[in-house]
Structures are given as structure tokens and as C-alpha cells.
A and B are shown apart, each in its own frame.
Chain A
Amino acid sequence: MANSISEETMEYVGILAKLELSGEEKEQARKDMERMLEYIDQLNELDTSGVEPMSHISPLHNVFREDQVTNGDDRDAILSNAPEARDGSFVVPRTVE
């Protein structure tokens, strides 16, 4: 298992997670991650072959809504916390197509 985490990996995970760490923090984060993964690797001692991964603990299945409109126009409330909004829309730096 990849316990040695490279700077490139940290860079890559930063792209995925949209986090940008500053110089010294970067190195600390890399070490933290290495230690955490090393610790997590304990799980490999455990034989889990043939065990179904348990994604849902709940006894429930088939929880549905009926196809009926229940919501009206709630635009003002939805936009009320926006850092930037204009003409009924959220505003973001221009995206490239």
C-alpha cells in the first residue's frame, strides 16, 4: 500500500478537493496523511474476503416521493445568502466552455 505520499499526490488530491495548502502546511499535511494511512493500514490484518461491503446500515429500502409538485417559488430565500447575486441568479467568475 502507498504509505509514502509524494508531493505530486498531495497536489493531485488538492485539485480533487479544491484545497491549496501553503508551503509549510503542505509538508505537515503530507506527513499527517502518511501517518493516517499507515494507521489505517492496520485494516489489512483483517481477513475480509467474502464479506459484502456494508454501505447502508439502515433496515430501510424503497423510500419514495410521489410525483407531485409541492414547492413554489422560493427564489429570494435561496439567494439570500449568496456572496454575489444579480438578476435572480448566483454570480460566479466566468466559466470556460
Chain B
Amino acid sequence: MDILQDTAAALGKRIKAGEVTAVEACEAVLERIRQRDQELNCYITVDEEGALARAEEVQRQLEAGRLTGPLAGVPVAIKDNMNTKGMETTCASRILKGFVPSFTAEAVGNLEKAGAVIIGKTNMDEFAMGSTTETSYFGPVKNPWNTAHVPGGSSGGSAAAVAAGECFYALGSDTGGSIRQPASFCGVVGMKPTYGAVSRYGLIAYGSSLDQIGPLSKDVTDCAMILEAIVSHDKKDSTSVALTETDYTSALTDDVRGLRIGIPKDYFGEGLDPLVKASVLQAVELLAKRGAVVEEFELSLVQYAIPAYYVIACAEASSNLERFDGVKYGYRAKGAEDLHQMYKRTRSEGFGREVRRRIMLGSFVLSSGYYDAYYLKALRTKALIRQAFDRAFAKYDVIIGPAAPTTAPKLGESLEDPIQMYLGDIYTVSVNLAGLPGICVPCGKDHRGLPIGMQIIGDCFEEKKLIRTAYTYECAAKEGGSHE
């Protein structure tokens, strides 16, 4: 049986049973990368030598009984905005090309402790700013289902790598939909955990109040397993929350009887591709058949989430990206006559267009005279959006809608009109504004064979409800053969 067909959980089991070694799994993935990544461009860095050495080490530890976890020996890909000690970390930007961090991100370190074998660093939109993975300094990623299309973004490399078998699972980061939307476009499972569930230490920040690391995986079981491994209370991240109920795999039960599902009417209105709409509603129907109580409701404020999101995310980004100045690391422009010229040239040459666009906007909305009108207004809107969700979760256990209004667009179609591109985030950004968890599971394909995703949103720290709902759907879909 082809190793690459395995899920992470299945592979982990087979490695533990001695049917496959960690080295064989690693070699299989590397071989697939050699075959396909020239075209797909999922990876910025592939650490062939390091990964094989690590696989050998993990195999020894497995045999010595020192590693027993379900992910031990399973190859993983890490989005290139998470620090990996000794391995180049670029955020897909020229300004960080060649940067080798001196410490590893906490979430990645947690995976290493569980015996993960890191294959390399995945391509992404530059500094996670984008929805298509076309803004990367290292070139766009292509959708494995149809290479004329984008994989979504910003974690496009991670999602495409999982879909193409170039890794068994991956970590992504989600600031406004950057895990869920590419998961939707690539037909994989992607989860953005509750803000504070996974440490942000070592994640190179885009919008600090919105960013969250999460898994991209082949199925819901893998997702729960990975989440269980990466969630931790990290004293190095002041926003990291101490959680007790983190046995997420215990929620892998095929049972939604009595679960109250809210369907926000405003997620199914104008702008939504009819095929996407039909697929998601069909999936909800399966859950209803399994005993869930489904009800439509008005979430409200949906159209205000994107403007509020862009004000907040760009403002924070303009500040977070100030440290890239040619002094301490990364790119420095040559031949500047003085300090300020060095700053300006370094940053203008080092950042790509979309990043510059967002930094300019962010600097403007925070500047003297505009702070109240833009930034505070956005924070007030955010408070209202959170209240709307609070009202919804008083009535429903989970909310279900699409992850994106369409399936993956063609390469080169999105970047010219930023507003149009931003509108693609309409169903995902409010989850980040409100700090909620959201999961995207594949629920069908369009006529071109491009995947469609269903998004399940929960209240804060209710990841188990998401997993239970998603798992039940997955079971139902397999039985009914609805997806595919």
C-alpha cells in the first residue's frame, strides 16, 4: 500500500507497529516533493538532509520506547512564518531571505516533542498578507486539484502540500481565514483554534490580536490529534490560556444528536456561488439526519467585518513589521547615504506590493487625526460583532456556513482588485475578530473538480464541539458517498 495514501494517524500507527519506518515515510514524502513541487511550489525550504537525520533519530527513539505518541515519525510541513531554529524562515519575503532564527516557535517545538519530522517550510502569501499565495517573493503556489488555480491563502503552501501528499499534515496560521480558506480551496481539513489556545511565541506576527496557529490535515481525526499536540499554556506568550480539557481526540464521536446548529442567513446571501451554497446546505442536511437541530437565524453585521478587520489587521501589521529595517537581520539596501534612506530603501525593496499597501493603510489609520475615526471605530465594530456571536451562541452550539464564497479562482485574477480579493474573506474574518474557533471540512467539488469547504464555528474554547460536528459529518459523508 502506498504510504502517501495514509492519514497522519494511520501512518503513526503503522510506524509504531513496525510496518513502516519513520525514514521510509520521510523518503516517500521527499520523493513526492521531487516529483511535484517543481510545479506546485508548496515549499520555500525543503530540508532533505535534516529531515532524514531527524527521521532516523525518531526511529531510534521509537524503538527504544522513548517516543510513544501518535504523531511520532510522521512528516510535517511548517508554514514559513513560524521560527525553526537553525532552519531559514522567510515569511515568503525578500526582507527576511536568509534569516535563520535562534529559537523554535512553541507550537513547532510541541510537535517536535511529539516526535514529528519536519520536512521543510511552506510557501505563503508574503507575511501572510493575501488570500491566494500569489504575493510570495518565491512565486505563487498552484492548486494540486487544478494547477491553473490558486490554492488559497495565506497558508496556501501548507494546504496544497497536504492535498498533494507532499507532507502528512502541516501547520498554518490564520489571521483572517488563512487556514480555513486554503483548506476549502484544497479540499483538506483546516482549523483555526480559539485565540489563546495555541502559543504565538515564534510566530512572526501579522495582526497580533488576530493571529492563531492551527493544523491543516487530511481528515478530522488528524486535525484533533495535531491540535492536542500543539495546544499548550506557554508562559512566553502573555495571551496564551491555560486549558484543562485538551483531550481533543476524545471528541471524535459520530454523534450530533440534539446538537443545535445555527445557519446564519447572512452567510448564504448575495455573492455566494450557488454550487458552494448547495454543497454546504447538503452537508448540513446530513448532520440534521444524524439528529442535529438546525435553525436559520440572522447573525447581522456581516458586511462590516471586512472593513473592521482591514483597519485592525493593517494597523497592527504596520507596527509589527517596523522591526524589519535592515539593522538586525534580513535584507539591507546597499549604498544608502544615511540612516533614513537606508530604512526607506530597505523596506521599499524588501517588502512586496501587497505588504507595502497594507503597511501604508495601517500607518494612515493610526496617524494623528485619524485614530478615532478609523481605529477606534473598528474596535467598536469588533465589540458589536463579538456581541452578535455571543447572542448566537446563547442559542446554538455551532454555526455553519461556507468558508469562502467561491471555489479557488484562477491564478492572476485576484491581485489587481484588492477590494474584490478582500471580499473573499467575508465568512472567515469575523471569527478572528471575535477570537472564536473555526474549522473547515471538505464538503464537495464544483464542476471543474475544485473542492468546496464547509466552515463550522464555535464559541470560545469549544473546539471539541467543532471536532464532534466535523467528525460526524465526515462519517456521514463516507457512508452516503456524498462527497466526491
Contacts and interface: CB of A to CB of B under 8 A. Distances in A.
Question: Do the two chains belong together in a single complex?
Answer: yes
Interface of A: 1-2, 5, 9-10, 12-14, 16-22, 25, 29, 32-33, 35-37, 39-46, 48, 51-60, 63, 65, 74, 77-78, 80-84, 90, 92-95
A65 to B, nearest CB: 8
Nearest to B344: A20
A40 B311 contact: yes
B195 interface: yes
A8 to B, nearest CB: 13
Interface in B83-103: 98-100, 102
Given A20-B344, A40-B307, 9 more contacts: A36-B361, A39-B307, A40-B374, A46-B304, A54-B379, A57-B382, A58-B196, A58-B241, A82-B327
A46 B310 contact: no
Interface string B345-356: 101100101001
Interface in B202-237: 209, 235
Interface in B286-330: 301, 303-304, 307-308, 310-311, 318, 322, 325-330
A41 B381 CA distance: 12
Using C-beta atoms within 8 Å of the partner chain, give the interface range for chain B. 35 or more
A93 B336 CA distance: 8
A89 to B, nearest CB: 11
Interface in B362-394: 362-365, 367, 370, 373-374, 376-384, 386
Contacts of B329: 81-83
A21 B435 CA distance: 35
Contact of A83 (B195, B235, B326): B326
Given A17-B318, A21-B348, A54 B383 contact: yes
A18 B325 contact: yes
B360 A33 contact: yes
A48 B326 CA distance: 41
A45 to B, nearest CB: 8
Contacts of A81: 98-100, 328-330
Nearest to B102: A77
A53 B386 CA distance: 11
Contacts of B378: 40, 43
12 contacts: A20-B345, A21-B356, A36-B418, A37-B364, A40-B365, A48-B381, A53-B383, A54-B379, A60-B241, A77-B102, A90-B327, A93-B336
B342 interface: yes
Nearest to B362: A17
Contacts of B381: 43, 46, 48
